[in-house]
Amino acid sequence: MNRPPEILALVNQKGGCGKTTTAVNLAGALVDRGQRVLLVDLDPQAHATMALGQCPDIGLTLAEVLGDELPAAAVTIKVPGGLDLLPASEALSEFEVAAELRIHPEQLLHRALSPLASTYDTIVIDCPPRADGILCANALRSCTTALLVIETGAFALQGALKALDVLAAAASAQDHGFRMRAVATLFDRRTRFARELLVALQARFGPTLFDTVIRTSVRLREAAAHGLPIQLHAPASRAAGDFTALATEVMALGADDIDSALREALGSSAQIQVPVQATGTSAQFAEDVIPPVPSTSSPANQEGIL
Ligand SMILES: Nc1ncnc2c1ncn2[C@@H]1O[C@H](COP(=O)(O)OP(=O)(O)OP(=O)(O)O)[C@@H](O)[C@H]1O
Ligand SMILES: [Mg+2]
């Protein structure tokens, strides 16, 4: 019997931190590793849809699926890179308004994806920047892992901690557990600030931060402009290598070693919630998942940026 799919929701309420770039290229790299992958574009901006060369104003989209009109399989399209895509359009914003009138509107995506459980090994959901809205609530209700995408820029840590609060609130509002992981993106190792921030993120997130760091690469911008995942656009590039490494880590999710490493890092008495359970306050959750940061006298920290 097939294992149920790993369902990743890429989240952060911070705009422009690399959610869509990570979603598209991680999905492409997973296909490259032999996985059957569905990318769900849950953002009315439809950037993932466009980054795969599709026009969001033409054809059926996820809005019709969430509106209960069509099964997800009827709307799924094949896109370059061997990926399946559930495309988005602006109509998702209207859905968000209409959904307020429905009972349990946060369960609609979960219900729509359930019939596809045996069709895919991994489902990647690209979330909109509005992390406390009904669209993101649908992603968190559906996912097995919430993947926090953190740009290694100014105020990243504050943003990530705020995002953790949103995740914790969603976990307590829903009777649904999910695991939490984080990935650092837009990393420029030439800047001292980015290097220091990465160290701070590693200290805060411990083993929940993926080892792979997605570096800044003009190739990724080019790939999106060509409507292709990086594995097709520039397979030998450094950026393609970063996403292959991330895909390898994602494929190892579910293996006990990562979660036991986290337990060890936090001490055996820590009441950690991995996967996150619908208990505890957000503050507890944040403390449980994030070990205390060591004090540092780095210039970035003195400026209060870290
Ligand atoms: N690793 C990277 N290297 C170079 N450019 C990148 C990288 N990651 C993202 N970008 C660029 O940064 C911009 C924002 O990225 P992206 O659209 O992935 O962010 P987002 O978090 O999905 O934004 P939004 O919150 O609006 O959905 C885009 O122009 C994208 O091409
Ligand atoms: Mg996006």
Q: What confidence category does residue 118 fall into, taking pLDDT thresholds of 50, 70 and 90?
A: very high
Which one of 13, 90, 221 would you pick to mutate in the ligand 1 pocket, going by the greatest count of ligand atoms within 8 A of its CB? 221
Ligand 2 centroid–CA 278 distance in Å is 27
Q: Which of 88-102, 196-210, 259-273 has the highest mean pLDDT?
A: 196-210
- Nearest residue (by CA) to ligand 1, atom 14, is 16
Q: What confidence category does residue 294 fall into, taking pLDDT thresholds of 50, 70 and 90?
A: very low
Superfamily of domain 6-302: P-loop containing nucleotide triphosphate hydrolases (3.40.50.300)
Is 129 touching ligand 1 by the criterion CB < 6 Å? yes
| pLDDT above 90 (res 303) | no
Is 43 touching ligand 1 by the criterion CB < 6 Å? yes
Instruction: Answer with the residue of higher pLDDT: 86 or 273.
Output: 86
User: Which of ligand 1's atoms lies nearest the C-alpha of 187?
Assistant: 1
Is 262 touching ligand 1 by the criterion CB < 6 Å? no
What is this structure's pTM?
0.87
Domains of the chain, residue spans: 6-302
Which candidate, 61, 25, 68, 70, places its Cα nearest to that of 43? 61
- For residue 236, the SS3 value is coil
Q: What confidence category does residue 280 fall into, taking pLDDT thresholds of 50, 70 and 90?
A: very low
Give me the pLDDT at residue 255, please: 60
- Cβ density class 188-218: b for 16+ within 10 Å, e for less: eeeeebbebbbebbbbbbbbbbbebbbbbbe
| pLDDT above 80 (res 134) | yes
Give me the pLDDT at residue 2, please: 67
- CB 146 within 8 Å of CB 31: no
Is 250 touching ligand 1 by the criterion CB < 6 Å? no
* DSSP string for 35-70: --EEEEE--TT-HHHHHTT--TTSS--HHHHHTTSS
Q: What is the mean pLDDT of residues 141-159?
A: 92
Residues in contact with 198: Cβ distance below 8 Å, sequence separation at least 6, in sequence order: 152, 184, 187, 213
| pLDDT above 60 (res 289) | no
Is 183 touching ligand 1 by the criterion CB < 6 Å? no
Is 185 touching ligand 1 by the criterion CB < 6 Å? yes
pLDDT > 70: what percent of the chain?
82
HSE (CB half, 13 Å, CA atoms) of 68?
6
| pLDDT above 70 (res 260) | no
User: Which of ligand 1's atoms lies nearest the C-alpha of 12?
Assistant: 21
